[in-house]
Amino acid sequence: MAIIIFIFCLGFLIFIHELGHFLAAKKSGIKVEEFGFGYPPRLWGFKKKGTIYSINALPFGGFVKILGEDGKGKDDKKSFASRKPFVRAKILVAGIVVNLLFGILLLSVGYFVGLPVTVDENNITKVKNINLSILSVSSDSPADEAGLKSGDVVLKVRAESEEASQMISEDFQSFVKNHQGQELTLVLARGKNILEKELIGRANPPEGEGALGVMIGEVGTLRYSLGQSIVHGIKDGIRIFLNIFILLFYVIKSLFTHDQLAGSLVGPVGIAALGGQTVKLGLGYALQFLAGLSVNLAAMNLIPFPGLDGSRILFVLIEKLKGKPVSLRTENAVHSLGFAALILLTIIITTKDIVRLF
């Protein structure tokens, strides 16, 4: 159920992206042929002022069909293709802006109701309800095999007759080190559920991983006033947006090195699984995850990769610099090849997600 709820939330993020294109096109006086919730086949629709508003059978996301978006109809004043480069760029970037703003809104709401944050020296006096939590789990580690998840709260750890509770991260690490090679029982809180997991620490873990394969730290709830929440929501949204491009640089770099970063990418199935887990952890975690995902959609669509909004924006900029557009045949061929590459990449990553999860 949590995964289904999250899939609908993800679909909503895609829908508002298309809503951005729709509103910008309408405001510019360009004809929108259809604006649909979900993907065809169409279940129901009505026509108003030349636009079909439809509800479709696959309720995940949405689409907007703009007259002349394929580059045709330059003689029609209501066509996208007939407008000046600035107007076309404004419509193309509108979906990106909406996703970024929505991510900032979610973060602002989150800070007002309380967001989970890692405790450090800068916020320790402001954070409430601090718990020892699992921040990440390494693949193929004892923790991964035992089913530990990011966000799990560590209540107790037992080894034979010895037990520790109310720990900080240093206490936990010391306990694991002192009982290396022994079976440990971790008592965890995952949302409203209390779980027990058995695992044995490794004597010689891979470089950068601990005996159990978890990164652990103190996590608490951080809340601000309404004004402060908006300020911190904006700062965090912009920071996440910029960090995505930095991460992308390292992902591309890892393709030419022995780093494992590129192999750790997840696709729609992996995102849905992570989202389902996050929803179970509570409202703060869900808001944080959805906000990050919305900002990710904004950033990824700005990348000038064929098939994405960023590529179409790039062609508009080239036209502005050259004084004439790139040939329609060339542009459509580039977008088609790029879209095919995106589909292939999605299939490859999704296959890995399914193998990893099942």
Q: Where in the sequence numbering do the catalytic residues fall?
A: 18
Distance in angstroms (rounded) separating the CA atoms of residues 178 and 188: 20
Is residue 251 a contact partner of residue 265, using CB atoms and an 8 Å limit? yes
Cβ within 8 Å of residue 216, ≥6 positions away: 132, 133, 134, 135, 154, 169, 172, 173
**CA–CA–CA angle 218, 221, 227 (5° rounding):** 140
- Beta partners for 197? 186
Residues 352 and 37: their CA atoms lie apart, in Å, by 29
Residue 57 CA to residue 61 CA, distance in Å, equals 11
Retrieve residue 68's tokens: 């002349």
Alpha-carbon separation of residue 127 from 3, 9, 151, 281 (angstroms): 29, 28, 16, 18
Amino acid at 41: P
Which pair of structure tokens corresponds to residue 266?
A: 């997840």
In the chain, what are the helix, strand and coil shares in percent, each to the nearest 5? 50, 25, 25
